[in-house]
Amino acid sequence: MTIAAAFLTSEGVVLGADSTLTAGWAPDPALVLAGLAQHFDHGQKVFQIGPEVGGRFGLCFYGLGRVGLSSQRTIAARVTDRLRDHSNVEHARDALVAVVGEEIERAARAGVPASTDQFGYFVGGWDPDTHEPGCFDLFFEGSGALVRNDRMSVGQGRFEGAPYMYDRVFKGMDQKTAEAIAVALDAFFTKMMGQQVPGLKDGMRSIVDTAVSSGAGQGLGWGYMDMPIREAIDYVHMYLHLTVKSFKFRRGAPICGGPIEIAFITTDRPFRWALHKPFESAVFQEEIGWT
């Protein structure tokens, strides 16, 4: 499970994610554990793209931890190879789409079946000619088909992977609960009337969504075009922290967690980290209390 966030302000872009990655065993019948998965809490989902010094772009992925035969870190490195000093945010977006497509094709030629899982990216930064910030939300099918290619607007925050607790806190209800209520209302009125009514469930869902939106009132926290970058960092951290804790205490194994990582790119500076775990973080975690 991945939780990821992006917030675009007039000052720049904030990207954040948790650190849990799911690693599955290769589908080798000789392996007793074939098909099982393991959760590791020290993965990395936010990467700088562009030159190591002075790079103006970053990406954050959610969903699959690899594309075809390559890790997301390798995908980010290949995107970096395609960027130049004059590249803008759209160039970074186009480079990422091209690299993903090429990797899917390479895996297919190697006989690796396409994944049934979906994955996506936030990719953002600023344009060298204007210093205008930008961020794209890209979503792919496991086959590599691009099904969402949205340019975010300034003042917009987007949250992917597991937004249910966030929706409950800031909107009053998550989408799964709203759908369940609409289905229940549809069944109730259908039973009362003794027949199916075309479009009834969609009508019930519209009523539920309107009521939830009205009830949320001032609860929605995004939409500020000129939110200071430090406040945007705090907002992204709040979403990630809230979601990690909700998964920790719900029934079942926590499938997101680990250190929270947040990066930002302001319109006057290159990529920087607000929160970034060291490479020995897994070692420290294992040794706490034992040294």
- Which amino acid is present at 274? A
* pLDDT band at residue 291 under the 50/70/90 scheme: very low
* Averaged confidence pLDDT in the chain: 85
Query: Are 237 and 96 part of one and the same domain?
Result: yes
pTM given for the model? 0.85
Whether 213 has a pLDDT exceeding 80, the answer reads: no
* pLDDT at residue 287 greater than cutoff 80: no
pLDDT, residue 231, reads 95
Q: How far apart are CA 207 and CA 203, in angstroms?
A: 6
Query: At which of 172, 199, 221 does a domain end?
Result: 221
| CATH (domain of 245) | 3.60.20.10
Position 203 confidence tier, pLDDT thresholds 50, 70, 90? confident
Domain shared by 212 and 244, yes or no: no
Q: Is the pLDDT of residue 289 over 70?
A: no
pLDDT of amino acid 32: 46
Could you give the count of Cα atoms lying within 13 Å of 222 in the half-sphere of its Cβ? 24
Structure tokens at 190: 């259908």
- Domain shared by 129 and 233, yes or no: yes
Q: pLDDT value at position 186? A: 78
Please give the structure tokens belonging to residue 81: 């190879």
Give pLDDT, residue 232.
95
Q: How many domains does the chain have?
A: 2
3-state secondary structure of 125: strand
Is the alpha carbon torsion for 44, 148, 133, 155 positive or negative? negative
Q: What is the mean pLDDT of residues 95-112?
A: 93
Q: Which of 221, 246, 266 is the last residue of a domain?
A: 221
- Residue range 15-53, pLDDT digits in tens: 999 998 877 655 554 544 445 567 788 999 999 999 888
> What's the pLDDT at 55?
92
106 and 21 in a single domain? The answer is yes
Residue range 125-163, pLDDT digits in tens? 999 999 999 999 999 998 889 999 999 999 999 988 777
Q: Each residue of 228-248: pLDDT tens digit?
A: 999 999 999 998 998 888 888
CA distance 61 to 21: 11
pLDDT of the residue at 25: 58
Q: Among residues of the chain, what percentage have pLDDT more than 70?
A: 89
Containing 49, the helix (H) or strand (E) segment is: strand 46-49
Return the closest-CA partner of residue 7 out of 235, 169, 163, 276. Answer: 235
Question: Is 113 found in the same domain as 46?
Answer: yes
Among the candidates 200, 221, 242, a domain finishes at 221
Highest mean pLDDT among 35-39, 104-108, 120-124, 202-206: 120-124
Average confidence (pLDDT) over 177-187: 83
Domain co-membership, 196 together with 238: no
